[in-house]
Amino acid sequence: MSEPRPHEALIDRLGTELVPVRRLLPPWLRTAGWLLVVAVIAAVLLGHYGVHGMLQRWNAAPDLAWAGIGAVLTTICAAWAAFALGVPGRRAAWAWLPLPGALLWIGASGLGCLRGWIAPGTQVANMHQSADCLVFIISFSIPLSALLIVLLRRAFPLRPVLTAVMIGLASAAASASLLEICHAYDAAATDLLTHALAVAIVVAVNAAMGGRLLSKA
């Protein structure tokens, strides 16, 4: 009986060394798992601060409510886009998914600066108080970003930087949404600029660090 040809022997050897790979869950399901962690954090904050103050602010100034809804929508869509971009063959157009929520978030926040009254139960934040908001957003974004990176490393995204940008946007938007629970300040230019700076920092750091981590999966 003749010896197998070299390429056939190589194929046989590689075939015997193959290890079964567990399929990833669908992007929407992995998104739901990450959002569950965010929901648990929100429940803890609500248990500590209560919901009355937030609802009072939203009822007196609907723009604050719309900005909060926009932040939540941005959180959901950016996380979903990140997991979708981790699937081979998915188009880069998924990165546009968070755009409507982000426009609502930014637009409603900007409109709040044009109001002529201060919502009951709030005050205009000074620079020190605005800095506290920056620390809050960044502090919560770090573990949320790390969790998303861990969940996405196994997927090995083909566009690691774009995926990392979506991770940063989802984490920053989630942190801003959580801040709404205990944020007793009205929409003012200094406070909103601080929020924008915090979101920009989180997205930039994720693009720089997250992209490298994802590309090394």
Q: pLDDT tier at 116 (50, 70, 90 boundaries)? A: low
Check: CB of residue 205 under 8 Å from CB of residue 138: no
Residues 6 or more apart in contact with residue 145 via CB below 8 angstroms: 167, 168, 171, 202, 206, 210
Q: Tell me: the pLDDT tens digits for 145-179? A: 999 999 988 777 888 899 999 999 999 999 999 99
pLDDT digits (tens, 9 = 90+) for 13-47: 555 655 555 677 889 999 999 999 999 999 999 99
Tokens of 152: 């996405």
Mean pLDDT of 199-214: 87
**SS3 label, residue 185:** strand
Q: Which residue has the higher pLDDT, 140 or 182?
A: 140
Question: 């609802």: which residue's tokens?
Answer: 55
Instruction: Check pLDDT > 90 for residue 136.
Output: yes
In this predicted structure, what is the pLDDT of residue 42? 97
Q: In terms of residues, how long is the chain?
A: 217
Percentage of the chain exceeding pLDDT 70? 86
Q: For residue 217, what pLDDT band results from cuts at 50, 70 and 90?
A: very low
pLDDT in tens, 47-92: 999 999 899 888 888 988 999 999 999 999 999 999 999 888 889 9
Q: How many Cα atoms within 13 Å fall on the side-chain side of residue 197?
A: 13
b/e code 58-83 from CB counts within 10 Å (16+ = b): bebbebbbbbbbbbbbbbbbbbbbbb
The set of residues, in sequence order, having a beta carbon less than 8 Å from that of 127 and lying 6+ positions away, is 190
